[in-house]
């Protein structure tokens, strides 16, 4: 077990500097254009693939870093560049985590490479959990998966929404209900292979922020997939459902569902994304405050501005430490006995919203225009308190964990 440390080792520093250079030289110059276009930045994703950032190998190296700091360090640097483009680069990772969290070794080896493609033929993947009537309330999910025993196939019907890369993905990972009586414990995850009949893209959303990342509905109309596309396999699913039924009879509900397993693994990474955006806005505000003069002196000489910057930096560093702690705990198998994963996402996402708003205030009228990036950063930051569990849900998870109550 790796000891917890606040210091990156030499190899991690080298990777961090490499990512920072890519973010500064490739992502940032393209950020405003793709934000305005509201389209997937395929050329940037391809550049990331060419240098090895958008690849299964790179993701795996960071994911299995024994310190747990590989993923949060990578997320912070890429999202420091631009949140929308960075999400288009890392969005496939959520589907990959879904497979890693719930799949067999054979499924992991078969499907995750197909999620990324290669530098000459870039692919993306989508994780589909939310629905029009089931966002935070996963127990209200209506998408159904019915097993056709005669053909050893699963038949899926329903509509998913808010899916990053939804409809344009090569591989979709879909969470569906297999036993409605068990509520959220009766869910399972399925791989939808490329070009499967019945899967189509619904509405593509025009968003407030992260506009370079594709977000859309995914419609499943009698989608048939082989039994092998059930993540974890049917034997494991049947055993889990049997335990859930037994616990339900006894009044217990301590069995995790497929969507929650994915979100628990990814929440600290979302916190790291927020840290990257907050840090970017802080750096713009700091530089502006040091060079912008009013009344014959730099505005940082005014306590009203200086104290804001002090609070911004303090919050960013605190958020990073919470993210790093949760990431270290996760990779080393330490249980989140106080919902430390949710803590990290909650604090970091709230920090990003606050810091980007403060950055606009420090820049004044300039900060409100698209001539400066803090306006875009502020729009982008709003998503962190919403996706993969709203701030309200994070507080609920933390409170119920502290009280020893089940998480539904």
**pLDDT tens digit string along 270-317?**
999 999 999 999 999 999 999 999 999 999 999 999 999 999 999 999
Answer whether CATH 3.10.580.10 is correct for domain 10-122: no
pLDDT band at 372 (very low <50, low <70, confident <90, very high): very high
**Pair 327, 72: CB distance under 8 Å:** yes
pLDDT > 90? residue 29: yes
* Residues paired with residue 177 on neighbouring β-strands, in sequence order: 144, 187
CATH superfamily of the 258-402 domain: Butyryl-CoA Dehydrogenase, subunit A, domain 3 (1.20.140.10)
Rg of the Cα trace of the chain? 22
Q: What is the mean pLDDT of the chain?
A: 92
pLDDT at 253: 47
For residue 190, list its beta bridge partners: 174, 230
pLDDT, position 136: 65
- Alpha carbons within 13 A on the beta-carbon side of 390: 8
Q: Residue range 371-394: average pLDDT?
A: 95
If 0-12 CB within 10 Å is exposed, 13-18 middle and 19+ buried, where does residue 91 land?
A: buried
196-206 exposure pattern, b = at least 16 Cβ within 10 A, e = fewer: beebebbeebe
Distances (CA, A) of 102 to 107, 154, 173, 273: 9, 17, 11, 24
Which residue in 47, 340, 375, 388 is the catalytic one? 388
What is the mean pLDDT of the segment spanning 217-229? 98
pLDDT score of 59 more than 80: yes
The pLDDT of residue 13 is above 60: yes
CATH match of 125-250 with 3.30.1230.10: no
- Which of 66-70, 82-86, 321-325, 345-349 has the weakest average pLDDT? 66-70
Domain locations along the chain: 10-122, 125-250, 258-402
Question: Where is pLDDT greater, at 165 or 249?
Answer: 165
Q: Residue 105 CB: number of other CB atoms within 10 A?
A: 7
Question: What would the 3-class secondary structure string for the chain be?
Answer: CCCCCCCCCHHHHHHHHHHHHHHHHHHHHHHHHHHHHCCCCHHHHHHHHHHCCCCHHHHHHHHCCCCCCHHHHHHHHHHHHCHHHHHHHHCHHHHHHHHHHHCCHHHHHHHHHHHHEECCEECCEEEECCECCECCCHHHCCCEEEEECCCCEEEEEEEEEEEECCCCCCEEEEEEECCHHHHHHHEEEEEECCCCCCEEEEEECCCCCCCCCCEEEEEEEEEEEEHHHECCCHHHHHHHHHHHHHHHHHCCCCCCCHHHHHHHHHHHHHHHHHHHHHHHHHHHHHHHHHHCEECCEEHHHCHHHHHHHHHHHHHHHHHHHHHHHHHHHHHCCCCCCCCHHHHHHHHHHHHHHHHHHHHHHHHHHHHHCCCCCHHHHHHHHHHHHCCCCCHHHHHHHHHHHHCCCCCC
Q: What pLDDT sits at residue 64? A: 87
Higher pLDDT, 59 or 379: 379
Q: What are φ and ψ of residue 253, in 5° steps? A: -140, 50
User: What residue has token string 């339900």?
Assistant: 248
**Mean pLDDT across the stretch 182-190?**
90
Percent of the chain with pLDDT over 90: 80
Question: Quick one: pLDDT at residue 277?
Answer: 98
Residue 255 pLDDT greater than 50, yes or no: no
- Is pLDDT of 86 > 90? yes
**Per-residue pLDDT at 115 exceeds 50:** yes
Tens of pLDDT, residue by residue over 320-358, are 999 999 999 998 888 888 999 999 999 999 999 999 999
**Rounded Cα–Cα distance for residues 272 and 128 (Å):** 22
Q: Which pLDDT band, with edges at 50, 70 and 90, does 264 fall under?
A: low
293 is catalytic: no
- Range with the lowest mean pLDDT among 2-16, 73-87, 146-160, 275-289? 2-16
- Kindly report which listed range (22-26, 79-83, 98-102) carries the lowest average pLDDT score: 98-102
């Amino acid at each position: 077990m790796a000891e917890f440390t606040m210091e990156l080792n030499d190899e991690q520093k080298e990777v961090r500097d490499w990512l920072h250079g890519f973010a500064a030289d490739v992502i940032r110059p393209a950020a405003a254009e793709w934000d305005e276009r509201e389209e997937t930045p395929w050329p940037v994703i391809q550049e990331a693939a060419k240098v090895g950032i958008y690849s299964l190998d790179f993701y795996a190296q960071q994911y299995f870093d024994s310190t747990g700091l590989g993923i949060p360090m990578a997320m912070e640097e890429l999202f420091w560049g631009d949140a929308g483009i960075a999400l288009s680069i890392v969005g496939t990772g959520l589907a990959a985590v879904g497979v890693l969290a719930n799949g067999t070794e054979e499924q992991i080896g078969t499907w995750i490479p197909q999620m990324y493609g290669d530098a000459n033929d870039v692919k993306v993947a989508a994780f589909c959990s939310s629905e029009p009537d089931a966002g935070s309330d996963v127990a209200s999910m209506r998408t159904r998966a019915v097993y056709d025993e005669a053909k050893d196939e699963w038949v899926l019907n329903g509509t998913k929404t808010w899916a990053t890369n939804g409809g344009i993905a090569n591989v979709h990972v879909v969470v569906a209900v297999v036993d409605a009586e068990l509520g959220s414990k009766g869910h399972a995850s399925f791989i939808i292979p490329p070009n499967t009949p019945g899967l189509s893209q619904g509405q593509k959303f025009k968003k407030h922020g992260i506009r370079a990342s594709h977000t859309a509905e995914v419609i499943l109309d009698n989608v048939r997939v082989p039994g092998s596309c059930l993540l974890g396999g049917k034997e494991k699913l049947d055993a889990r459902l049997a335990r859930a039924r037994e616990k339900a009879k006894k009044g217990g509900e301590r069995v995790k569902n497929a969507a929650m397993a994915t979100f628990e693994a990814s929440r600290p990474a979302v916190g790291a994304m927020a840290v990257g955006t907050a840090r970017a806005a802080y750096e713009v505000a700091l530089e502006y405050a040091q060079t912008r003069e009013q009344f014959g002196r730099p505005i940082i000489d005014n306590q009203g501005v200086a104290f804001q910057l002090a609070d911004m930096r303090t919050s960013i560093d605190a958020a990073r430490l919470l993210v790093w702690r949760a990431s270290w705990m996760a990779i080393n198998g330490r249980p989140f006995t106080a919902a430390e994963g949710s803590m990290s996402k909650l604090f970091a996402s709230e920090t990003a919203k606050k810091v980007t708003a403060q950055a606009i205030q420090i820049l004044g009228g300039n900060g409100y225009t698209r001539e400066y990036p803090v306006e875009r950063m502020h729009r982008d930051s709003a998503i962190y308190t919403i996706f993969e569990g709203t701030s309200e849900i994070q507080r609920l998870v933390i409170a119920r964990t502290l009280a020893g109550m089940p998480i539904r």
